[in-house]
Amino acid sequence: MPRTEISATSHNQAGKYAGPSMRELLTRVGVPTGADLRGAELAKTVIVTGADGYKVAFAIAEFDPSFTERNCILADQKNGAPLPANAAPFQIILSGEVRPARWVRQVVSIEVRPAP
């Protein structure tokens, strides 16, 4: 799978994270992109869950380059090495976050849900 790199800072520590983009993952499971991302598709959410039960919801449009210039990856590396144990095996990294509270560590599931 193609890899993307993001330079980002969390808790005053800068790092270079690498992994597949969330957009690539969503495309591979059939979530529309670009002009096809409209109507009911825009009401869907992506729920990311960490091993400790921590959950974060994202709007589908947050991962689409036709809506935002921000990038989001499912990182498996930081600074060229595997993620540390408290973040591995995967961590959501979203560029441009002022507060990294949505950077889910130890990701165990990613679900695409329709609007309630």
Q: What pLDDT, on a 0 to 100 scale, did the predictor assign at position 60? A: 95
Q: What pLDDT, on a 0 to 100 scale, did the predictor assign at position 13? A: 84
Domains of the chain, by residue range, sit at: 4-113
Q: What pLDDT, on a 0 to 100 scale, did the predictor assign at position 50? A: 98
pLDDT at 3 over 80: yes
* Alpha carbon distance 93, 5 (integer Å): 10
Q: What pLDDT, on a 0 to 100 scale, did the predictor assign at position 10? A: 83
* Alpha carbon distance 6, 18 (integer Å): 6
Q: Which amino acid is at 32?
A: P
pLDDT tens digits for range 22-41: 999 999 999 999 999 999 99
Mean of per-residue pLDDT scores for the chain:
94
4-113 placed in CATH 3.90.420.10:
yes
pLDDT tens digits for range 64-114: 999 999 999 999 999 999 999 999 999 999 998 888 999 999 999 999 999
* Alpha carbon distance 105, 111 (integer Å): 16
Q: Cα 87 vs. chain centroid, distance in angstroms?
A: 14
| pTM across the whole model | 0.93
